[in-house]
């Protein structure tokens, strides 16, 4: 369950990290794609517009050339012009038609006519004769003339750019000839007409306007960062360049939206940061909740110590470490003695406070490296590491007992408890965790079985015992199912008359294998394995059956404190009495004092119920524990049975007689008759008779015997009499 919760938490954590990572990656890739796309768009738009501008400028230059070429063709391939140029009127005619036109003509500003020797006939510029010879004014003038003479009438008229003394000019030349050219005519004999148009700022402005390019200028050299269109001469060399700034519409558009894009980018970045932060917070929360639930899963809520799962985990961890360091692990299981009584007497909140106080004691008293856990109820576990080569400075089991031996002050109450401790050792951590726990459990069980305040270390032989006990338990179960528990009867003798006045029923068990198992073994076994109710009722019924045939003597039956826990106990007893038609006042139930202390309420209810049915109650084994005469009266006991230990003491303890005497006298003063058990000698019997004991029981009179033997010995002939010949059961 908890494991599931862990893996669930971890899975959640991983998926959050994964989703956040994927999200951030995708967002980053998208942002990058957008940036690249914007850049591509911008540069492509810029490039397209640059191309358009270059194309338009080149087109404008081309049309300038074509225009000049066409003008030249119109003027040179002209019958009239050919006639006039070859007449004496040539100078006047050419000045009038071409030279004076240069004054304010948009198509050309310079007009030159040369003869076959390339000598100028006229040379006019801006309406005036030129003061510099044309070949000095224009460079590469001569090659242009040659080209013009070479060109056929259908060839394009050569038009190029050239340097002139006035700047950069578009210059073209055509041989003056009739419209229909005489094929026999020689080009070198032709006069040649030259027109030139200077690229003035006005021309530049016109081009700029025509091609719709702002910032166009005529420059000698290309200018870095500006677009250009080359103006070339007749042999293709650069004369000048048109340059202009790139319109860069993409860049401009980008500049217009850059603010928005940056804002969007900022929002995206913020968004990503938000996701990252949210992811981090979620992961932290998940981690925190995981460690919280992990803490909860491994710790005891009341004391804050580790719980059983926590202890298991640390044993596994310490085992691995012990294995590599070659040291031993010692596991101690602690059970508080008398805790249940505290709980019963003062309630669970005092019990809880006591548990917390015990936890503090243990934490304070034990070495710092000891792992302490609360396993539930009043059970604790302690793990220590011990180097087998070194003698331990302290025995931890002993330390635990010392720590818990001092009284606890809780809510103004002084509470005394003790501890039973079971110990199991795992040499070099090699004993598997579950097995180590089992061994410590068995050792603790032993310790509790022996009595309070005992430390027991596990031994391999315990396992044999455990197995034997399990086998015995199975056998007892079978025996009980088959009604195979026998009952022996030990007579009670009237102290004054010496006659039999009652019997005590004592359970007997002979296994199928023929082994006699003592009640000191099988009664606790039945109590532990939940068979005591069955056993108790079987003994009661068999006893009632046997005793019914005997004359008016009492029948004493032993009852385990555990039987009183059964709410139907009283009813079962009265039913059995009714079934056997047995007078309830002849039946005496023997209880030991333990139940009065451990569960007084329960004892009182059962005692009251039994007494109400007319049944007598006897306090068994008086003097072996702490019960006082007051207890007898408090619970309304009808009889007291003095324990054999007080009788045995008569033989070696000088005070014993006086103690016994006072005890019996006190009981008698309260009208509580006394039976003495375990009488083996006449001397003992004598002391008790003198002390006022009403009934005597012991080997001196008879061992426990079978119902038949008892009938034969006491009731076969006549009346009650003292039986001399005792036969053992
Ligand atoms: P108990 O009730 O004190 O029984 C008396 C025990 O003392 C019996 O032991 C009896 O055999 C023994 N005894 C009697 N006279 C003498 C004597 O002169 N000398 C010595 N040394 N011993 C004597 P037993 O039968 O072994 O029973 C032991 C205990 O087992 C009983 O102690 C009783 O507490 C318990 N017990 C026996 N039968 C039952 C039963 O049916 N139900 C329950 N709940 N307990 C039973
Ligand atoms: Ca008894
Ligand atoms: Ca007894």
Torsion region of 483: left, alpha or beta (phi above 0 gives left; psi -120 to 50 gives alpha): left
- Tens digits of residue pLDDT in 287-307: 888 888 889 899 999 999 999
Instruction: Please name which ligand lies nearest the alpha carbon of 728.
Output: 1
Which of these three, 405, 426, 458, is where a domain ends? 458
Which atom number of ligand 1 is nearest to the Cα of residue 507? 38
Q: Is 641 helix (H, G, I), strand (E, B) or coil?
A: strand
Mean pLDDT of 454-477: 91
For all residues of the chain together, what is the average pLDDT? 89
- Tens digits of residue pLDDT in 72-105: 888 888 888 898 998 998 899 999 999 998 998 8
For residues 669 and 543, membership in a common domain is answered with: yes
Whose C-alpha lies nearest to ligand 1, atom 19?
678
Task: State the pLDDT at residue 262.
Answer: 83
**Distance from the alpha carbon of residue 464 to the mean position of ligand 1, in angstroms:** 27
Task: State the pLDDT at residue 13.
Answer: 65
Mean pLDDT of 148-168: 88
**Distance from the alpha carbon of residue 290 to the mean position of ligand 1, in angstroms:** 59
pLDDT of residue 538 exceeding 50, the answer is yes
Lowest mean pLDDT among 72-76, 134-138, 177-181, 388-392: 388-392
* Higher pLDDT, residue 3 or 628: 628
Q: Residue 485 is part of a domain; what is its CATH number? A: 3.20.20.450
**Distance from the alpha carbon of residue 565 to the mean position of ligand 1, in angstroms:** 22
pLDDT of residue 208 exceeding 50, the answer is yes
Beta strands 418-426 and 192-198 are unpaired
**Distance from the alpha carbon of residue 699 to the mean position of ligand 3, in angstroms:** 13
Residue 480 lies in a domain: yes
Q: Is 680 helix (H, G, I), strand (E, B) or coil?
A: coil
Task: State the pLDDT at residue 502.
Answer: 97
Token readout for 314 is: 């640390």
Mean pLDDT of 191-211: 91
Q: How confident is the model at residue 8 (pLDDT cuts 50, 70, 90)?
A: low
Q: Which residues surround ligand 3, an ion (CB under 5 A)?
A: 620-621
For residues 421 and 498, membership in a common domain is answered with: no
Beta strands 418-426 and 455-457 are parallel
**Of the ranges 30-39, 160-169, 554-563, the best mean pLDDT one:** 554-563
Question: Which sign, positive or negative, has the C-alpha torsion 14, 17, 20, 26?
Answer: negative
Mean pLDDT of 140-146: 87
> What is the H or E stretch that residue 142 is in?
helix 141-150
Q: Is 329 helix (H, G, I), strand (E, B) or coil?
A: strand
pLDDT of residue 7 exceeding 70, the answer is no
Q: How many CA atoms within 13 Å lie on the side-chain side of 684?
A: 26
Q: Is 729 helix (H, G, I), strand (E, B) or coil?
A: coil
For residues 371 and 493, membership in a common domain is answered with: no
Lowest mean pLDDT among 173-182, 308-317, 634-643, 699-708: 173-182
Task: State the pLDDT at residue 721.
Answer: 43
- Tens digits of residue pLDDT in 317-370: 999 889 888 899 999 999 998 898 888 888 888 999 999 999 999 999 998 889
For residues 584 and 669, membership in a common domain is answered with: yes
Q: Where are the alpha helices (DSSP H) in 549-693?
A: 561-565, 569-579, 594-598, 600-612, 629-635, 644-649, 656-669, 682-691
Which percentage of the chain shows pLDDT scores above 90?
55
For residues 375 and 500, membership in a common domain is answered with: no
Instruction: Determine the Cα–Cα distance for residues 586 and 639; give it in Å rounded to an integer.
Output: 13
Task: State the pLDDT at residue 4.
Answer: 39
Q: Residue 417 is part of a domain; what is its CATH number? A: 3.30.70.270
Residue 376 lies in a domain: yes
pLDDT of residue 32 exceeding 80, the answer is yes
Beta strands 486-494 and 217-219 are unpaired
Lowest mean pLDDT among 26-35, 429-438, 511-520, 612-621: 26-35
Quote the DSSP letter at residue 95.
I
Residue 450 lies in a domain: yes
Residue 250 lies in a domain: no
* Higher pLDDT, residue 654 or 701: 701
Residue whose C-alpha is closest to residue 542's, from 479, 596, 603, 599 = 479
Token readout for 452 is: 């309070």
Instruction: Please name which ligand lies nearest the alpha carbon of 623.
Output: 3
Instruction: Determine the Cα–Cα distance for residues 491 and 704; give it in Å rounded to an integer.
Output: 7
Whose C-alpha lies nearest to ligand 1, atom 11?
704
Contacts of 215 (CB under 8 A, 6+ apart): 208, 244, 245
pLDDT of residue 408 exceeding 80, the answer is yes
For residues 403 and 330, membership in a common domain is answered with: yes
* Higher pLDDT, residue 336 or 15: 336
Q: Are 618 and 675 in contact (CB under 8 A)?
A: yes
**Distance from the alpha carbon of residue 645 to the mean position of ligand 3, in angstroms:** 10
Task: State the pLDDT at residue 259.
Answer: 85
- Tens digits of residue pLDDT in 562-613: 999 899 999 999 999 999 999 999 999 999 988 787 788 889 999 999 999 9
For residues 475 and 446, membership in a common domain is answered with: no
Residue 28 lies in a domain: no
Which atom number of ligand 1 is nearest to the Cα of residue 539? 41
Instruction: Determine the Cα–Cα distance for residues 489 and 244; give it in Å rounded to an integer.
Output: 135
Residue 605 lies in a domain: yes
For residues 448 and 531, membership in a common domain is answered with: no
Whose C-alpha lies nearest to ligand 1, atom 25?
506
Contacts of 143 (CB under 8 A, 6+ apart): 234, 235
For residues 441 and 520, membership in a common domain is answered with: no
Residue carrying the six token digits 């202390």: 597
Q: Tally the domains of the chain.
A: 2
Q: How confident is the model at residue 5 (pLDDT cuts 50, 70, 90)?
A: very low
Which of these three, 458, 478, 501, is where a domain ends? 458
Beta strands 554-558 and 500-510 are parallel
> What is the H or E stretch that residue 355 is in?
helix 348-365
Mean pLDDT of 504-526: 94
**Distance from the alpha carbon of residue 537 to the mean position of ligand 3, in angstroms:** 19
Mean pLDDT of 104-127: 92
Q: What 3 state SS string does 267-306 have? A: HHHHHHHHHHHHHHHHHHHHHHHHHHHHHHHHECCCCCCE
**Distance from the alpha carbon of residue 724 to the mean position of ligand 2, in angstroms:** 23
Task: State the pLDDT at residue 10.
Answer: 63
Q: Is 457 helix (H, G, I), strand (E, B) or coil?
A: strand
For residues 427 and 486, membership in a common domain is answered with: no
Whose C-alpha lies nearest to ligand 1, atom 21?
678
Question: Which sign, positive or negative, has the C-alpha torsion 160, 164, 168, 174?
Answer: negative
pLDDT of residue 218 exceeding 70, the answer is yes
Task: State the pLDDT at residue 282.
Answer: 80
Which of these three, 424, 458, 492, is where a domain ends? 458
Q: Is 263 exposed, middle or buried (0-12, 13-18, 19+ CB in 10 A)?
A: exposed
For residues 447 and 497, membership in a common domain is answered with: no
Task: State the pLDDT at residue 253.
Answer: 81
Task: State the pLDDT at residue 571.
Answer: 97
Task: State the pLDDT at residue 717.
Answer: 66
Instruction: Determine the Cα–Cα distance for residues 42 and 164; give it in Å rounded to an integer.
Output: 41
**Distance from the alpha carbon of residue 506 to the mean position of ligand 1, in angstroms:** 6
Residues with CB under 6 A from ligand 1: 490, 506-507, 518-520, 523, 536, 539, 558-560, 590, 620-621, 677-680, 698-699, 704
54, 60, 64, 70 alpha-carbon torsion, rounded to 10°: 110
* Higher pLDDT, residue 469 or 661: 661
Mean pLDDT of 206-228: 89
pTM, entire model: 0.51
Q: How confident is the model at residue 271 (pLDDT cuts 50, 70, 90)?
A: confident
Which residues constitute the domain of residue 519? 469-716
pLDDT of residue 728 exceeding 60, the answer is no
Residue 404 lies in a domain: yes
Q: Are 622 and 655 in contact (CB under 8 A)?
A: no
Whose C-alpha lies nearest to ligand 1, atom 27?
519
For residues 595 and 710, membership in a common domain is answered with: yes
77, 83, 89, 95 alpha-carbon torsion, rounded to 10°: -10
Task: State the pLDDT at residue 9.
Answer: 54
Which atom number of ligand 1 is nearest to the Cα of residue 487? 41
Residue 333 lies in a domain: yes
Task: State the pLDDT at residue 689.
Answer: 96
pLDDT of residue 48 exceeding 60, the answer is yes
């Amino acid at each position: 369950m908890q494991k599931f919760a862990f893996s669930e938490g971890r899975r959640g954590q991983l998926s959050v990290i994964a989703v956040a990572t994927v999200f951030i990656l995708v967002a980053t890739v998208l942002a990058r794609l957008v940036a690249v796309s914007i850049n591509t768009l911008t540069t492509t738009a810029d490039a397209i517009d640059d191309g358009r501008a270059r194309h338009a400028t080149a087109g404008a230059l081309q049309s300038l050339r074509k225009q000049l070429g066409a003008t030249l063709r119109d003027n040179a391939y002209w019958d009239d012009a050919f006639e006039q140029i070859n007449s004496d009127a040539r100078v006047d005619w050419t000045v009038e038609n071409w030279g004076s036109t240069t004054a304010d003509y948009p198509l050309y500003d310079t007009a030159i006519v040369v003869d076959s020797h390339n000598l100028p006939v006229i040379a006019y510029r801006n309406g005036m004769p030129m003061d510099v010879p044309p070949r000095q004014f224009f460079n590469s003038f001569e090659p242009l003339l040659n080209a013009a003479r070479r060109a056929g009438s259908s060839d394009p008229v050569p038009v190029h750019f050239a340097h002139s003394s006035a700047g950069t000019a578009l210059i073209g030349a055509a041989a003056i000839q009739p419209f229909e050219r005489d094929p026999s005519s020689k080009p070198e004999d032709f006069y040649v007409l030259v027109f030139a148009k200077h690229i003035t700022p006005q021309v530049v402005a016109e081009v700029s306007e025509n091609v719709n390019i702002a910032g166009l200028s005529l420059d000698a050299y290309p200018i870095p960062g500006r677009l250009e269109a080359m103006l070339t001469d007749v042999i293709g060399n650069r004369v000048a360049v048109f340059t202009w700034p790139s319109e860069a519409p993409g860049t401009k558009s980008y500049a217009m939206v850059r603010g928005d894009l940056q804002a969007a980018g900022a929002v995206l970045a913020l968004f990503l940061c938000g996701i990252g932060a949210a992811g981090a917070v979620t992961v932290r929360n998940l981690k925190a909740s995981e460690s919280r639930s992990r803490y909860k899963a491994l710790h005891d809520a009341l004391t804050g110590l580790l719980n059983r799962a926590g202890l298991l985990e640390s044993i596994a961890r310490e085992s691995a470490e012990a294995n590599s360091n070659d040291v031993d692990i010692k596991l101690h299981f602690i059970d508080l003695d008398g805790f249940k009584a505290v709980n019963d007497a003062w309630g669970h909140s005092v019990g809880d406070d006591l548990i917390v106080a015990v936890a503090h004691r243990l934490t304070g008293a034990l070495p710092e490296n000891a792992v302490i856990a609360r396993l539930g109820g009043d059970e604790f576990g302690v793990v220590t590491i011990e180097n087998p080569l070194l003698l331990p400075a302290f025995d931890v089991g002993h330390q635990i007992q010392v720590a818990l031996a001092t009284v606890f002050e809780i809510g103004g109450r002084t509470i005394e408890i003790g501890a039973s401790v079971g110990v199991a050792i795992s040499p070099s951590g090699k004993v598997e965790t579950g097995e180590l726990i089992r061994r410590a459990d068995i050792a603790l069980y032993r310790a509790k079985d022996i009595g309070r305040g005992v430390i027991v270390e596990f031994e391999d032989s315990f396992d044999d015992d455990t197995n034997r006990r399990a086998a015995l338990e199975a056998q007892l179960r079978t025996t009980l199912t088959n009604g195979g528990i026998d009952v022996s009867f030990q007579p009670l003798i009237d102290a004054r008359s010496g006659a039999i006045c009652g019997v005590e029923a004592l359970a007997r068990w002979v296994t199928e294998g023929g082994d006699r198992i003592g009640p000191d073994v099988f009664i606790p076994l039945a109590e532990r394995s939940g068979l005591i109710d069955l056993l108790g009722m079987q003994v009661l019924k068999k006893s009632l059956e046997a005793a019914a045939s005997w004359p008016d003597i009492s029948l004493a039956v032993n009852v385990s404190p555990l039987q009183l826990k059964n709410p139907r106990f009283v009813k079962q007893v009265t039913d059995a009495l009714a079934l056997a038609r047995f007078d309830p006042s002849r039946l005496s139930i023997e209880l030991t004092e333990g139940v009065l202390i451990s569960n007084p309420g329960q004892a009182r209810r059962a005692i009251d119920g039994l007494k109400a049915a007319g049944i007598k109650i006897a306090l068994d084994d008086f003097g072996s524990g702490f019960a006082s005469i007051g207890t007898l009266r408090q619970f309304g006991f009808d009889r007291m049975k003095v324990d054999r230990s007080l009788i045995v003491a008569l033989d070696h303890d000088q005070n014993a007689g006086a103690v016994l005497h006072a005890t019996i006298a006190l009981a008698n003063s309260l009208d509580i008759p006394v039976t003495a058990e375990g009488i083996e000698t006449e001397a003992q019997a004598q002391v008790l008779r003198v002390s006022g004991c009403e009934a005597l029981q012991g080997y001196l009179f008879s061992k426990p015997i079978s119902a038949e033997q008892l009938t034969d010995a006491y009731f076969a002939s006549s009346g009650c009499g003292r039986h001399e010949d005792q036969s053992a059961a």
